[in-house]
């Protein structure tokens, strides 16, 4: 027991009432101290030490175990009195409050001396103990008996205690609520725009005789709380019917209400006090944001349910709501209302729903314009009309998992902070550069400022003397050189201070940072990359110009903003024989445009052949293993919406997967197992298939081996028609009709094999270069690889095996059998029997043997 520990600390032979008091004080773990007095155990110990020193007593910590120290006769009388107190009050247990009441009644004088030393009054502590015990009975739904009334001697003290400064004396309304009407009167609430119909609906419900409690339902960020704030603004301005005149909208802070309520019954006591004060005030409308948190809060059985022995806050509010003594405005989301409020029918029927929909883009622009000046004042910047329009448009298009106007407001807010920080860094750099300027450079800066002033129609007399000119020039030199049209129209003082302007480019930069989608203006490097995208892709994919051109056109349309915003960037189907570069082209696109090959989401559809595997894409349904973990496809796109999705060998997938693809191709969205909508509007979907390979192999005349690549565009059109016939036999018409383009890959010709071999040898050379060894391959060896690796039916994959067998195996054996130093060269040639052989050349290299050529970088090879 804590009292025995205190007795051991002070070296006492038994536990007296002094140590019993210290144990009760140590038991209090909330921030308000012993019974709300603010006294902590450290202060109490210091007071006892001072009393012992005043009486010339010394103490030494006892060697006994704390549990071995007995209780004094005075302490035993306290426990007996506490038992009597518990019986009188109808309790079947003893709490620290019972012991405190008994200690104040039968104290032998030791505890009273400590309380006097601390400046505490026994009557106040008794009153606080009784309040807590009353809360325990309220928790059980019982009325306190007369034995729990305050003692008569504490009446005068109770009157004086109301004057004591502190949180409890202010009342529950002031402790746990914020007066929105008062904040509206002080101008601390942003104006509410475009919600007149919803505010009017709330006023109508408040005017009802019974069940006059509106509950605002809507998605997060649509402005539910703002509607209640709009009502507070109307009340503060007097723009309400007479029955609302003088009313106060008080917002309940659930965090404050629950914080520190560790003792049994303390939370229930707070709620009952809140209800009682609201009833007595008569002019209070209670706003409960996140009203679903009331259900289960305070239950002994846990916050999430109502299985415990105690009542939750919602059950305490129900009687007051039913009698009309308490008028509330609730606010919560539709999902939380369905999960918590609707299940409690008694609570649900006491509230009248008001649906708050997401505002349109036009209304969102009006909302942002209404609050623009608040953000301009805070960030010390100017937000243009174009920035507001861009925030609404870009957030609606690229941030699909949030709602207007919240996401547009956040864009404006962060763009303002970003611009302000950039301006601070810029001004700091300008001030530092002043020290390195020569007098002639100062005068050049002055002339630049004078030119800017003339452009802004500022008279010369307003510029002041030369010293002011020099200081102004130092602060505004970069802006004076390149001043835009918006800056010209600014007032003189803003121009001189280098006013921070937030425009569409700043909004686009923040949107790009949030979503990972490149939205900002095209740079010259990116423009060049997009123009030459075909050439970049052809460095890795040979002989497939039709496919390269099709995918490049789709990417350019998306990047300049001409694609349909409600659909993916493109949905393409790559058909052709194996090994011709279908998957390689997708990897090349991910590397050159999306940043890296890791930006590609690759799904091998052979893993989704069974019906039960279909759910892996969007997540397992409730009751199945993996529920709540998200789907393979949906989670990947949620984390990286700007990506290329490769569905490899789509013909092997289960037919149910095609049903999901219909929605993605048409609407650019998919709902996962948890009800979250995932946007595919910034993704490029590519499916590869071997359907149609037989048509490519047969050719138009039906003879095996006929090559369409040897013909012109007419032959390729005929080939594509044959492939489409096979696709129609395999895929359903509604799927094929939603695919943007079906690209037929041509078979590889022997003329294209050399370029592919060069690419493979370049990769081998790069791996050897990491070990500091160069590689040279003779023309004869390269020709051997091309001859043995070429197989029209299997494409480039046999070439990979030939490179491995002829080149890499021979080099590996040479590296193991010979001692190579950094900088040496391995020369691979053919011996008299036509077998590969490797000759080591020590540095410096000698390339005058005339037998081989150094492996060169791959070049683009156009199909014949």
* CATH number of the domain within which 349 lies: 3.40.50.300
Check residue 169 and give its pLDDT: 42
Verify that 221 and 318 share a domain, yes or no.
yes
If you search the block for the tokens 């038992």, which residue do you land on?
83
Domain housing 394: 361-506
Percent of the chain with pLDDT over 90: 6
- Three-class SS of residue 211? coil
For 209-321, list the strands marked E by DSSP. 214-217, 248-252, 284-289
Residue 10, domain member (yes or no)? yes
Q: Are 650 and 642 in contact (CB under 8 A)?
A: no
Structure tokens at 30: 């909330």
Check residue 458 and give its pLDDT: 45
Which alpha helices (H) appear in 89-208, and where do they start and end? 96-106, 110-118, 122-139, 155-161, 172-176, 180-185, 196-206
Verify that 757 and 732 share a domain, yes or no.
no
The full DSSP string for 11-59 is T-SSB-HHHHHHHHHHH--STT-GGGS---HHHHHHHHHHHHHHTT---
Choose one of 718, 744, 770: the last residue of a domain.
744
If you search the block for the tokens 């015990």, which residue do you land on?
133
What CATH number is attached to the domain comprising 133?
Answer: 1.10.1780.10
Verify that 144 and 11 share a domain, yes or no.
yes
Verify that 837 and 767 share a domain, yes or no.
yes
- Three-class SS of residue 272? helix
Verify that 598 and 713 share a domain, yes or no.
yes
> What sign does the dihedral 624-628-629-634 (CA atoms) show?
positive
Verify that 729 and 757 share a domain, yes or no.
no
Residue 861, domain member (yes or no)? no
Verify that 20 and 140 share a domain, yes or no.
yes
Distance in angstroms between the alpha carbons of the first and the last residue of the chain: 94
Residue 570 bridge partners (DSSP): 684
> pLDDT tens, 515-533?
777 776 555 667 777 888 8
Per residue, what are the HEC states of 377-421?
A: HHHCEEECHHHHHHHHHHHHHHCCCCCCCHHHHHHHHHHHHHHHH
DSSP letter, residue 207: T
Radius of gyration in angstroms for the set of CA atoms belonging to the chain, rounded to a whole number: 40
Check residue 408 and give its pLDDT: 92
Verify that 301 and 349 share a domain, yes or no.
yes
Domains of the chain: total: 5
* Cα(39)–Cα(608) distance, integer angstroms: 67
Q: Are 323 and 313 in contact (CB under 8 A)?
A: no
| Global pTM value | 0.60
Strand arrangement, sheet containing 600-604: 600-604, 643-648, 683-689, 570-575, 741-744
Residue 248, domain member (yes or no)? yes
Residue 517, domain member (yes or no)? no
Choose one of 475, 506, 537: the last residue of a domain.
506
* Cα(600)–Cα(617) distance, integer angstroms: 16
Per residue, what are the HEC states of 779-804?
A: HHHHHHHHHHHCECCCECHHHHHHHH
Residue 725, domain member (yes or no)? yes
Sort strands 352-355 and 852-854 into parallel, antiparallel or unpaired: unpaired
Residue 35's region, left for phi above 0, alpha for psi from -120 to 50, else beta, is: left
**Burial class, 851, CB count within 10 angstroms (exposed 0-12 / middle 13-18 / buried 19+):** middle
Verify that 160 and 178 share a domain, yes or no.
no
What CATH number is attached to the domain comprising 417?
Answer: 1.10.8.60
Cα dist from 205 to 47, 201, 211, 214, 216, whole Å: 58, 6, 8, 6, 11
623 CB-near residues (< 8 Å, 6+ apart): none
Check residue 396 and give its pLDDT: 86
Q: Are 124 and 30 in contact (CB under 8 A)?
A: no
Residue 859, domain member (yes or no)? no
Verify that 366 and 340 share a domain, yes or no.
no
Check residue 543 and give its pLDDT: 80
> pLDDT tens, 334-363?
888 888 888 888 888 888 999 999 999 999
Residues in the chain where the model's pLDDT stays below 70: 1, 29-32, 56, 58-60, 62-68, 107-109, 135-170, 263-264, 296-311, 430-437, 442, 452-498, 520-525, 694-716, 842-864
Check residue 796 and give its pLDDT: 80
Check residue 722 and give its pLDDT: 80
Residue 698, domain member (yes or no)? yes
Check residue 477 and give its pLDDT: 39
Choose one of 685, 714, 744: the last residue of a domain.
744
The full DSSP string for 539-571 is TTS-S-HHHHHHHHHHHHHHHTT-S-TTS-SEE
Residue 483, domain member (yes or no)? yes
DSSP percent split of the chain into helix, strand, coil, nearest 5: 55, 10, 35
* Cα(780)–Cα(829) distance, integer angstroms: 7
* Cα(813)–Cα(807) distance, integer angstroms: 10
Verify that 703 and 754 share a domain, yes or no.
no
* Cα(720)–Cα(204) distance, integer angstroms: 66
Q: Are 748 and 796 in contact (CB under 8 A)?
A: yes
- Buried-state track 7-45, b at ≥16 Cβ within 10 A, e below 16: bbbbebeebbbbbbbbbbbbbbeeebbbbbbebbbeebb
* Cα(497)–Cα(423) distance, integer angstroms: 11
- Three-class SS of residue 236? helix
Verify that 661 and 576 share a domain, yes or no.
yes
């Amino acid at each position: 027991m804590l009292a025995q520990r205190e007795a051991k600390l002070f070296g006492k032979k038994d536990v007296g009432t002094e140590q019993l008091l210290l144990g009760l004080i140590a038991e209090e773990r909330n921030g308000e101290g012993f019974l709300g007095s603010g006294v902590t155990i450290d202060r109490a110990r210091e007071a006892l030490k001072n009393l012992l020193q005043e009486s010339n007593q010394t103490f030494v910590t006892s060697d006994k175990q704390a549990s071995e120290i007995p209780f004094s006769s005075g302490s035993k009388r306290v426990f007996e009195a506490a038992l009597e107190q518990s019986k009188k009050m109808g309790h079947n247990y003893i709490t620290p409050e019972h012991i405190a009441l008994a200690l104040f009644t039968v104290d032998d004088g030791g505890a009273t001396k400590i309380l006097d030393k601390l400046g505490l009054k026994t009557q106040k502590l008794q009153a606080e103990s009784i309040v807590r015990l009353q809360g325990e009975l309220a928790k059980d739904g019982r009325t306190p008996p007369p034995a729990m009334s305050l003692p008569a001697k504490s009446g005068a003290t109770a009157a004086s205690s109301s004057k004591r400064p502190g949180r409890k004396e202010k009342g529950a309304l002031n402790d746990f609520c914020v007066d929105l009407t008062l904040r509206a009167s002080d101008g601390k609430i942003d104006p509410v725009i475009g919600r007149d119909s919803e505010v009017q609906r709330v006023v109508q419900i408040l005017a009802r005789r019974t069940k006059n409690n509106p509950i605002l339902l809507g998605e997060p960020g649509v402005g539910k709380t703002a509607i209640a704030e709009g009502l507070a603004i109307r009340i503060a301005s007097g723009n309400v019917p007479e029955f609302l005149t003088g009313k106060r909208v008080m917002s309940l802070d659930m965090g404050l209400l629950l914080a520190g309520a560790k003792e049994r019954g303390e939370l229930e006591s707070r709620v009952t006090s809140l209800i009682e004060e609201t009833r007595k005030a008569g002019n209070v409308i209670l706003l409960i944001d996140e009203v679903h948190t009331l259900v289960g809060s305070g239950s002994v059985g846990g916050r999430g349910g109502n299985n415990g022995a105690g009542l939750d806050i919602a059950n305490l509010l129900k009687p007051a709501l039913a009698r009309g003594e308490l008028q509330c405005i609730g606010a919560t989301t539709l999902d939380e209302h369905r999960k918590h409020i609707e299940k409690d029918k008694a609570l649900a029927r006491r509230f009248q729903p008001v649906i708050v929909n997401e505002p349109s883009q036009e209304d969102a622009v009006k909302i942002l314009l209404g609050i623009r000046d608040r953000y301009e004042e805070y960030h010390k910047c100017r937000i243009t009309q174009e920035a507001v329009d861009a925030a609404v448009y870009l957030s609606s298009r690229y941030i699909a998992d949030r709602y207007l106007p919240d996401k547009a407001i956040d864009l404006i807010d962060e763009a303002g902070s970003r611009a302000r920080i950039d301006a601070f860094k810029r001004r700091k750099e300008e001030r530092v550069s002043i020290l390195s300027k020569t007098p002639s450079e100062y005068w050049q800066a002055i002339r630049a400022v004078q030119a800017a002033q003339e452009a802004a129609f500022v008279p010369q007399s307003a510029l002041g003397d030369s010293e002011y000119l020099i200081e102004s020039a130092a602060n505004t030199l970069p802006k004076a050189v390149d001043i835009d049209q918006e800056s010209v129209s600014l007032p003189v003082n803003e121009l001189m201070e280098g006013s921070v302007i937030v425009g569409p480019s700043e909004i686009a930069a923040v949107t790009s940072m949030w979503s990972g989608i490149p939205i900002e203006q095209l740079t010259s490097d990116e423009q060049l990359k997009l123009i030459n995208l075909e050439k970049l892709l052809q460095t890795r994919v040979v002989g497939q110009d039709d496919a390269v051109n099709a995918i490049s056109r789709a990417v350019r349309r998306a990047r300049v903003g001409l694609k349909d915003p409600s659909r993916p960037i493109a949905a393409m189907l790559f058909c052709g024989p194996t090994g011709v570069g279908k998957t390689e082209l997708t990897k090349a696109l991910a590397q050159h445009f999306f940043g890296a090959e890791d930006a590609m989401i690759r799904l091998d559809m052979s893993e989704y052949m069974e019906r039960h595997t279909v759910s892996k894409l969007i997540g397992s349904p409730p009751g199945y293993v993996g529920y709540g973990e998200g789907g393979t496809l949906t989670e990947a796109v949620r984390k990286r919406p700007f990506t290329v999705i490769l569905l490899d060998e789509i013909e092997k997938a289960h037919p149910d997967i095609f049903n999901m693809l219909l929605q993605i191709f048409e609407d650019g969205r998919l709902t996962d197992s948890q009800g979250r909508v995932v946007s595919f509007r910034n993704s490029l979907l590519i499916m590869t298939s071997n359907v149609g390979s037989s048509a490519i192999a047969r050719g138009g005349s039906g003879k095996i081996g006929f090559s369409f690549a040897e013909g012109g565009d007419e032959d390729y059109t005929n080939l594509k028609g044959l492939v489409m016939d096979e696709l129609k036999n395999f895929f359903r018409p509604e799927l094929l009709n939603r695919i943007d383009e079906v690209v037929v890959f041509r078979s590889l010709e022997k003329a294209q094999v050399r370029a592919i071999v060069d690419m493979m040898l370049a990769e081998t050379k790069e791996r050897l270069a990491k070990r500091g060894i160069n590689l040279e391959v003779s023309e004869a060896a390269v020709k051997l690889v091309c001859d043995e690796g070429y197989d029209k039916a299997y494409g480039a994959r046999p070439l990979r095996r030939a490179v491995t067998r002829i080149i890499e195996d021979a080099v590996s054996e040479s590296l193991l059998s010979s001692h190579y130093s950094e900088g040496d060269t391995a020369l691979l040639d053919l011996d008299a029997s036509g077998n590969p052989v490797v000759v080591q050349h020590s540095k410096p290299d000698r390339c005058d043997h005339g037998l081989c050529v150094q492996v060169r970088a791959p070049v683009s090879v156009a199909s014949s």
